Chains A and B, each alone.
Chain A
Amino acid sequence: MKQLLILSGKGGTGKTTVASAFIKLAQAKAYADCDVDAPNLQLVLEQSGQPESNDFFGMPKAEINTMLCAKCDRCREHCRFDAVSVIDDVYSIDPFACEGCGVCEIVCPVRAITLKPLVSGELVLYKSETVVFSTAQLKMGSGTSGMLVTEVKKEMKAVDVGADLAIIDGSPGIGCPVIASISGVDMVLIVAEPSVSGISDMERIIKTAKIFHAKIAVCVNKYDTNLEKTRAIRDYCQQHEIPYIGEIPYDEKVVKTVNEGLTIVDVFCDAGSAVQEVFNRTMKEMNP
């Protein structure tokens, strides 16, 4: 099964809009939403049946047994994440700052500290005999989103529906969840926006994807909102020998369609026709 990952460097460029259209066009049997911070794909793709949902345990977090604590301060001294605080002479650990490294546990002379597993998200899997859709939601303020992304992909791959193509909606940024989503995919399609911010974000995601040796292609969304910047993106791709595979116009119907819970290829619109072209070229690029 080949895997296509859709990234953008930043949210709001139309990643999910493009991903959902691709899923419809490819009649994809396997797809996933790796934007575990703010998953939106399920909002535009109708799911049948109840999903399976499972707690996701990220890194365990340290806990202090205040009855045993000798107030020696060693845990606070050694914690590099400023997670140990002392209020009214009572030691406690801030679970949001704790990275679960276990240093406090090993330096505590009286074994007052233990690492305890903590639910940090929820894995959600929709599956039928023919389709698998894997998504997740990170719990508020949790870290370890990269681990959750890895699990989302693993759950998608574990269900055999005979799919030859998987489409993955990625997460914004260039950090841990994005890096986790890039690993093992066959191609990354970058959806860029024609603005100074959009170009800056695109350049950073391209650099990141290159570090992980991913095959890359670029398309521009809302290209006609700034033709000069669209040209700049096209030139950048040419200079860096990155396939530039199309442009999608700004189209008022997109917001309306998405608000109705549909993808842009479910209705007749300019953006929908353009995305069809982008899809065809992406498939050619992926299967030369």
Chain B
Amino acid sequence: MKYAVLSGKGGTGKTLVSVNLAAVAKNPIYVDCDVEEPNGHLFFKPRGIKNEAVTVKIPVVDEDLCLGCRKCVDFCKFNALASVIDKLIVFEEVCHACGGCMLLCPNNALTERDKVIGEITSGDSETVKVISGILNTGETSGIPIIKKLLAKIVNEKATVVIDCPPGSACIVMESIRDADYCILVAEPTVFGLHNLKMVYELVKLFNKPHGVVINKALKNNHLINDFCCENEITVLTEIPFDSELGQLNSNGEIAARKSAAYHDLFSTLLQTVVKEVEHETVAHS
């Protein structure tokens, strides 16, 4: 089973929920797709780390062969190529590595080289297999890293928890594509509700079964509860606003491993989600 944890925005507790869910599952895989700001490994502190570079193909010009015809420059939709005084220049930071320029060059003046944009690290933390994608600073898109991360778990039978990037842009869609269930983490604030509405639209668009976890729950969570009630969304659990949890979390500790109460809370959450998925499977078969 693959569970994607979404939030519309960072800071809502996406990593808190993902890390703790993985910590209470049996031999799970935790995948951190928030490649711009991966944080899961800070909690798991995995051992036996293996690194794997992620590369994209960037064009290289052979100046002796370039005819200055500008076919590649005119083609490039991303303005990654420019011809200045008949000299071809590649702006690799905006190149999307589509390979079109190379296809079009009439004199084979363009070849490609691998450019490292980040890496995938994997390691173990107790029984959890921890896989993280990390985008190098200064790079614009982590999509190739997310694709490679998700390719690793495509045929995985184990419990997989996918910690998604924030927002609802293309990178988030990549992350939930193969998920069996989406857990939407929301904070009971005006901002939180606004952001929840956006990821809710996204999971509806993809027709993914989903439920909501209210994080930093206060006594009065009517903002989120009312929205869930109106839209018939299951509230899976409420994680209380609690300074002990905040303290554990800010020090990079996994609450479910440190506190029996939080171990129970996340185990119950996992059971609830498993039941939800079973229910969905029955309802749609």
Residue positions of A touching B, CB distance < 8 A:
9-13, 16, 37-38, 40, 43-44, 59-60, 78, 80-82, 96, 99-103, 106-107, 138, 140-143, 145-146, 172-176, 179, 193-198, 200-201, 204, 207-208, 211-212, 225-226, 229, 255, 258-259, 261
**Beyond A11-B166, A140-B202, is A207–B137 a contact (Cβ under 8 Å)?**
yes
Q: Which residue of A lies closest to B45 (CB)?
A: A196
Q: Which residue of B lies closest to A212 (CB)?
A: B138
Chain A residue at smallest Cβ distance from B100: A103
Closest-CB distance, B100 to chain A (whole angstroms): 4
If A140-B201, A141-B202, A195-B250 touch, does A37 touch B98 (CB 8 Å cutoff)? no
| Stretch of B83-91, B186-194, B258-266 at the chain-chain interface | B186-194
B-side interface residues, number (CB < 8 Å): 57
Residues A37 and B173 in contact, CB atoms below 8 Å apart: no
- Pair A174/B191 contact, Cβ less than 8 Å: no
Q: List 17 A-B contacts (CB under 8 A).
A: A10-B37, A11-B11, A37-B198, A38-B9, A38-B198, A102-B75, A106-B103, A141-B170, A173-B165, A175-B142, A193-B250, A207-B138, A225-B246, A225-B250, A226-B251, A229-B251, A259-B223
Most B-side CB within 10 Å, residue of A38, A43, A255: A38
Complex-state Cα separation, A59 to B43, whole angstroms: 38
Chain B neighbourhood of A173, CB < 8 A? 10, 36-37, 165-166
Name which of A100, A173, A208, A259 has the most chain B CB atoms within 10 A of its CB.
A173
- For the complex of A and B, list the 3 residue pairs with the smallest distance between their C-beta atoms, beginning with the closest: A12-B11, A195-B250, A37-B167
Nearest to A15 among chain B residues (CB) is B11
Known A200-B37, A201-B37, A259-B190; judge A78-B103 contact (CB<8 A): yes
Instruction: Considering the complex, give the chain A residue whose CB is closest to the CB of B57.
Output: A80
Query: Smallest distance from the beta carbon of A191 to chain B beta carbons, Å?
Result: 11
Chain B, residue nearest A13 (CB): B11
Is the beta-carbon distance between A172 and B39 smaller than 8 angstroms? no
User: Which residue on chain A has the smallest CB distance to residue B142?
Assistant: A175
Q: Point out the residues of chain B lying under 8 angstroms from A107, CB to CB.
A: 103
A residues in contact with B166, CB < 8 Å:
10-11, 37-38, 172-173
> Judging by beta carbons under 8 Å apart, are A174 and B97 in contact?
no
Decide if B139 is an interface residue (CB 8 Å cutoff): yes
* B137 CB contacts on chain A under 8 angstroms: 174, 204, 207-208, 211
A107 to B98, CA, bound (A): 13
A47 to chain B, nearest CB (A): 15
Most chain A CB neighbours (cut-off 10 Å) among B78, B190, B191: B191
Question: In the assembly, what is the distance between CA of A141 and CA of B201, in Å?
Answer: 10
Smallest distance from the beta carbon of A58 to chain B beta carbons, Å?
10
Q: Which residues from chain B contact A40 at a C-beta distance below 8 Å?
A: 191, 194-195
Q: Is B27 an interface residue (CB 8 A)?
A: no
With a cutoff of 8 Å between Cβ atoms, the chain A residues found around residue B252 in the complex are 195-197
User: Does chain A have a CB within 8 A of B121?
Assistant: no
A12 engages B9 (CB within 8 Å): yes
Give the docked Cα–Cα distance between A169 and B99 (Å): 35
Q: For the complex formed, measure the closest distance between the CB of A15 and the CB atoms of chain B, giving whole angstroms.
A: 9
Assembly CA distance A201 to B40 (angstroms): 12
Min CB–CB distance B109 → chain A (angstroms)? 17
Task: State how many angstroms separate the Cβ of A24 from the closest Cβ of chain B.
Answer: 17
Which residues of chain A come closer than 8 Å to B15, judged between CB atoms? 197
Q: How far is the CA of A212 from the CA of B140 in the complex (A)?
A: 12
Interface string of B92-128 (1 = CB under 8 A from A): 0000111110011000000000000000000000000
Flag if B138 contacts A208 (CB, 8 Å).
yes
Distance between Cα atoms of A59 and B10 in the complex (Å): 26
Residue of A nearest to B8 (CB): A38
CB distance from A188 to the nearest CB of B (A): 14
Whether, in the assembled complex, B49 has its beta carbon less than 8 Å from a beta carbon of chain A, the answer is: no
For residue B42, CB closer than 8 A to chain A, the reply is yes
